[in-house]
Amino acid sequence: MAQSNFVDYVKIFCHSGKGGSGSKHFFRSKHNATGGPDGGDGGNGGSIIIRAVPQKWTLLHLKYTKHISAGDGGNGGEQYSTGKTGDNVYIDVPLGTVAKDAETGELMGEVTQAGDEFVLLKGGRGGKGNSFFKSSTMRAPKFAQPGEEGSEKWIILELKVLADVGLVGFPNAGKSTLLSVVSAAKPEIADYPFTTLVPNLGMVQHHGENSFVIADIPGIIEGAHEGKGLGHRFLRHIERNSVLLFMVPCITTRTLSQEYRILLRELEKFNPELLDKPRLLAITKCDLIDEKRQRELHRQLPRNVDSIFISSAIQYNIEELKDKLWLMLNKDDSTSF
């Protein structure tokens, strides 16, 4: 997927359909000049519905769509005829899309599985015709209900990438390189910050038919929870991952524990619930150090998280890493590999 084509945030104005008016008609014919009320009900206005489509990976198709309107309901007619129901409008979005009220920030709904859908804005109800109000005490009502107005609202759609494992690390921690080694994904790789500007997904094959999905997400920086760097664009994608793989290079200006704690703190400030996710720490680029230095670095490791030393360049401990991730994803599954 071209980076310029990845869109994970759009703001659109939505308007559901107005309900049709009820009819105030009375039956008349050459044989019956004083027939009773036979006005039909107005049709309901069309709704705007969010629908999950697995074939979509981005919100690009909505980038230049600023207004979406559903159809109005038709007016009721004679002989108890009900007006036409307004056409619904379906907004097709990728799995993992969240809809929010742009003004209040209120969550309106989300889709996480193929076929999920929810009504974003419901159409107005059609008004009742005069035949509805006929009774023993009111034999010839000369009134009918107007249809309800539709709803209108600015809506924010955000995409949060769905993946089994999310890679968490500073720029140049080796996330893209790891993804290119363990899957068929071909992310851009270079030795400068923010090479990755959009999430990349890769399918990892593990011991035959087993597989899981890894997401390489733009690198975090201190202050990301405040929107610095790629800020919230990065952090919201982490919310959908089942397991978090923290990645810290073996050569750094801080200790390994300090790097890990900074990453952990950014996630906690953005959303404390992220700390409830299973996590693993990978010390990367270990082809750049010898065994003696690796033993020294062991003393810097945080004690409250499992860790592993790896090198994507020379495939060092890559299979062991995949084993650990698979077990974390399937810890309640008795199936072995």
- Domains of the chain (ranges plus CATH)? 1-159 (2.70.210.12), 165-329 (3.40.50.300)
Give 108-156 pLDDT, tens digit per residue.
Answer: 999 989 889 999 999 999 999 999 999 989 989 999 999 999 999 999 9
Residue type present at position 257: S
Q: Provide, rounded to the nearest whole percent, the portion of the chain with pLDDT above 90.
A: 54
Residue type present at position 148: E
Please list the helix, strand and coil fractions of the chain in percent, rounded to the nearest 5, in that order: 20, 25, 55
Residue type present at position 186: K
Closest by Cα among 89, 237, 246 to 167: 246
Q: Write the CA distances from 144 to 34, 39, 45, 150, integer angstroms.
A: 19, 8, 17, 19
Q: Write the CA distances from 247 to 74, 257, 283, integer angstroms.
A: 59, 12, 6
Q: Write the CA distances from 67 to 105, 111, 125, integer angstroms.
A: 19, 21, 22
d(CA 17, CA 58): 27
Give 236-280 pLDDT, tens digit per residue.
Answer: 777 878 999 999 999 988 899 999 999 898 888 888 888 999 999
The pTM score is 0.69
Give 170-216 pLDDT, tens digit per residue.
Answer: 887 888 889 889 886 664 444 544 444 567 778 888 887 788 888 88
